Amino acid sequence: MYLLDSCYLLTSTSCSHSEQVFETMIALSFIYVGVFFTVLTYHSKESVGKITRLSNAALNGAVALLVAVIFTGNASYRGIERSWMHKGDMLTMMLLVFVLWARVSKTNIDWAQKNSLNEDLGINCKTLLILFTLISVIKLFALTDFVDPTKMLADDGEMTEIAYWMWKLCAVTILEFIFAISYSILYDDNTGHELVTISIMIMSLIAVWMFSSVQKYMSSWMGLNKSSTLWIRVGILLVLCAASLIGGRRSSHRSGYQNV
């Protein structure tokens, strides 16, 4: 989406300013989700129970994406996507749902036991991930009920039908993020928490690079229209992540860190 100009694929015309902004947001969100699930899958690959739990979390996310594709609709029937695009997306998401459902519906398979939510809290990665989950839930409600997307755009930015669709899809990707982080908190160990935190740090730097191309189209409402403000926000995030990593390493609860 970010590299190929998704609006051109949909309508044969290049993206407007608002569409470029939300296209960047969706692309970044999908990269976040892909990185988190890839890291968690790799880390949990030796544990059948953890993979089962992770597959179940991914199944919920895949169903949410399939529903989003269904509501996007075929352009031949007043939807947004071209016929070949919508059919491809439908088949892809249905295949993903089937593969994950087949994994979690097997009989006689192990399911990892849930960790205690209030154990080992403090200045560490688990506490930070819980904070990120709460913030993500608030963002989910904000995107669907409270925030007007036009406030994010500069004065000359106008919301189009495709831009509104992209805005709604951003909420779906935040739900995917919540599934991934919730799995890590509830079923993963300290190593997994640390790997997810490091992934967040790396993705924050990627986000600065991706948003740099659309900052001129954004308003000052969220402080994303200036590189200095964006770097300050990312810097605060990096400091929090680094403090959590160091605090977790210095704590007495070091189980799992030997594998990092």
Residue type, 122: G
Greater pLDDT, 134 or 9: 134
Q: What is the pLDDT of residues 127-185, one digit of tens each?
A: 999 999 999 999 899 888 888 888 888 776 678 888 888 888 888 999 999 999 999 99
State both tokens at 114: 């849930």
Residue in 235, 242, 245 with CA at minimum distance from that of residue 193: 245
Question: Taking a C-beta distance cutoff of 8 angstroms, is the pair 182, 57 a contact?
Answer: yes
> What's the pLDDT score for residue 3?
62
Q: Which residue has the tokens 């993500």?
A: 136
Q: What is the pLDDT of residues 63-116, one digit of tens each?
A: 999 999 998 888 888 888 888 888 998 999 999 999 999 999 888 888 888 888
Average pLDDT over residues 6-33: 81
State both tokens at 239: 């400091």
Whole-model pTM? 0.83
At residue 35's C-alpha, the angle toward residues 32 and 38, to 5°, is: 145
* Helices vs strands, H then E, count in the chain: 8, 0
Model confidence band, residue 52 (pLDDT cutoffs 50, 70, 90): very high
Count the neighbouring beta carbons within 10 Å of the beta carbon of residue 153.
Answer: 22
Q: Which residue has the tokens 């977790």?
A: 248
Residue in 209, 212, 185 with CA at minimum distance from that of residue 197: 185
For 143, which DSSP code? I
Q: Which sequence spans correspond to the domains of the chain?
A: 6-47+112-259
State both tokens at 87: 């059919």
SS3 81: strand
> What's the pLDDT score for residue 5?
66
